[in-house]
Chains A and B, each alone.
Chain A
Amino acid sequence: MIHRLTILPEEICVPVREGETILSAICRAGFTYRFGCRRGGCAVCKVRVLAGDVAYERPIDASLVSEQEGAGGIRLSCRAVPTSDVVIALQSDDHLTIVNPWVSKLEQSFQ
């Protein structure tokens, strides 16, 4: 099953494969953004989930996202796996950058 991941503020839309993390889906679509260890340990890749559902399928360090942040939709994008269509916002001082224009152009046709 493929879910649709929409990233604000650019409103870029990328497909998500079954079991794929937000980070993996964005990178596979030819984009990059600010992330760190990619293994749930550093919290540099926090994003805000505005709509839809995500699940952690592997353990993270629970102290990295406060209760208040969690209630506000903050998740570690390297470990969060969409289980429905999802809309996320990157951190306010971050943005998507195209690193693989061949793929990112193709992925736009998904919209």
Chain B
Amino acid sequence: MRLGFVHIRVTDMDEALSHYSNTLGMKVVSEESGPSRKAYLKCWDEYDHHSLVLEEGGVGLVKLGYKCATADDLDLFENRAQTFGATVGRVSKGENLAIGDGVRIELPSEHTVELYNEADYLGTDTGVLNPDPWPRDRRGVGVPWIDHALVPAEDPETVERFFTECLDFRASERVVTDPANPELIGSWMYCGQSPHDFAVVKGPNSKFHHFAFMLNDWNEILHAGDIFGMDEVPIDYGPTRHGITRGQTIYFFDPSGNRNEVFCGGYRTMPDFPTITWTADQIGKGVFYIQREINDRFLTVFT
């Protein structure tokens, strides 16, 4: 399984398209007009139809799409989610443009996750026959992939347990109040080999913290920062290193106030990866390793 698409709301579609297309370098693959204006975008190295859906009106998260390997997986995860007690429904092919049949799950945190296993294939911008390392018409930051999403939840422990028991995710890192009597504050969870594909921290239900784009290295993070300077993109924090995940980062905001991240690095995870624990008093170092303190926006700004 992997994060396949992020569907968010934006207050102004034209500004959002400029941000995700010109500044970040995604490609607009489809647009829908009408009462609910929508746009579908993909990164240059992604081969499925889209990885980002923008919907005009409001801000925040509509849903996260995770792509599974097989239709049998959908049945399995659907059964487990029902047993868990989550609200579960079926999604028919075409309900989401270019996405196949799926399973819709309402998380205990009032977020919507949709699982699917088929999407229209568009191919990467460099193709699969003797490909160049990157496309010459790459724009702006030139993001190659989306990477992960983080949501707040009043009860992060139940959300973590849902992803563990129902979807076979594992926690790479956890923040707890006190290891002797742990109350979970945040969990970073993986389903592939990256440090995290989903994360949850204590906060308001149904709100959105951020989704991230993958970059290759620290130099690309700096290059992204330069582009953000040129385009007057509001920065939340960075560039810096995370203690948690060991990755490197800049957090920034899209023109509607949704938080984005460019993320690179971090370790590899395996099914037997030992979970790392952080204590709440070290959260500053965990989030922003070099500065060792959280700014006043990181745990208060949600959309």
A31-51 interface bits toward B, Cβ cutoff 8 Å, 1 = contact, 0 = none? 000101111111010000000
A39 touches B297 (CB 8 A): no
The answer, among B11, B254, B297, B303, for a CB contact under 8 Å with A59, is: B11
A60 within 8 A of B: yes
B12 touches A37 (CB 8 A): no
Query: How long is the Cα–Cα vector from A44 to B302 in the complex, in angstroms?
Result: 9
- B143 CB to closest chain A CB (Å) equals 19
Contacting A at CB under 8 A, from B46-72, are 58-60
B256 touches A41 (CB 8 A): yes
A37 touches B11 (CB 8 A): no
Residue of A nearest to B252 (CB): A37
B296 touches A40 (CB 8 A): no
The answer, among A36, A58, A60, for a CB contact under 8 Å with B301, is: A36
B42 within 8 A of A: no
A42 touches B12 (CB 8 A): no
Residue of B nearest to A41 (CB): B257
Query: How long is the Cα–Cα vector from A41 to B257 in the complex, in angstroms?
Result: 4
B170 within 8 A of A: no
B256 touches A44 (CB 8 A): no
Q: Inside 8 A of B253's CB, which chain A residues have their CB? A: 37-39, 41
Q: Given the known A-B contacts A41-B59, A41-B257, A61-B58, are A36 and B11 also in contact in the complex, defined by CB atoms under 8 Å?
A: no
Tell me the dominant secondary structure on chain A's binding face: loop
Q: Inside 8 A of A39's CB, which chain B residues have their CB? A: 234, 253-257
Q: Given the known A-B contacts A59-B11, A59-B12, A61-B11, are A40 and B58 also in contact in the complex, defined by CB atoms under 8 Å?
A: no
Query: How long is the Cα–Cα vector from A40 to B234 in the complex, in angstroms?
Result: 12
Residue of A nearest to B296 (CB): A34
Residue of A nearest to B300 (CB): A44
Tell me the dominant secondary structure on chain B's binding face: loop
Contacting B at CB under 8 A, from A43-78, are 44, 58-63
- A24 CB to closest chain B CB (Å) equals 11
B12 touches A44 (CB 8 A): no
A37 touches B257 (CB 8 A): yes
Q: Inside 8 A of B15's CB, which chain A residues have their CB? A: 58
Query: How long is the Cα–Cα vector from A99 to B60 in the complex, in angstroms?
Result: 31
Q: Inside 8 A of B236's CB, which chain A residues have their CB? A: 37
Query: How long is the Cα–Cα vector from A59 to B41 in the complex, in angstroms?
Result: 22
Contacting A at CB under 8 A, from B258-303, are 258-259, 296-297, 300-303
Q: Inside 8 A of B60's CB, which chain A residues have their CB? A: 41, 61
Query: How long is the Cα–Cα vector from A70 to B240 in the complex, in angstroms?
Result: 38
B6-44 interface bits toward A, Cβ cutoff 8 Å, 1 = contact, 0 = none? 000101100100000000000000000000000000000
A63 touches B58 (CB 8 A): yes
Contacting A at CB under 8 A, from B194-238, are 234, 236
The answer, among B9, B255, B303, for a CB contact under 8 Å with A42, is: B303
Q: Inside 8 A of A63's CB, which chain B residues have their CB? A: 58
Q: Which residues of A contact B (CB under 8 A)?
A: 34, 36-42, 44, 58-63
A–B pairs, 7, beta carbons within 8 Å: A34-B296, A36-B300, A39-B255, A42-B257, A61-B60, A62-B58, A63-B58
Q: Which residues of B contact A (CB under 8 A)?
A: 9, 11-12, 15, 58-60, 234, 236, 253-259, 296-297, 300-303
7 residue pairs, one from A and one from B, having the closest CB atoms: A41-B257, A37-B257, A36-B301, A39-B257, A41-B59, A59-B11, A38-B234
> Other than the known A39-B257, A42-B257, A61-B11, what 14 A-B pairs have Cβ atoms closer than 8 Å?
A34-B296, A37-B236, A37-B259, A39-B256, A40-B59, A40-B257, A41-B256, A41-B258, A42-B301, A42-B302, A44-B300, A59-B12, A61-B9, A62-B58
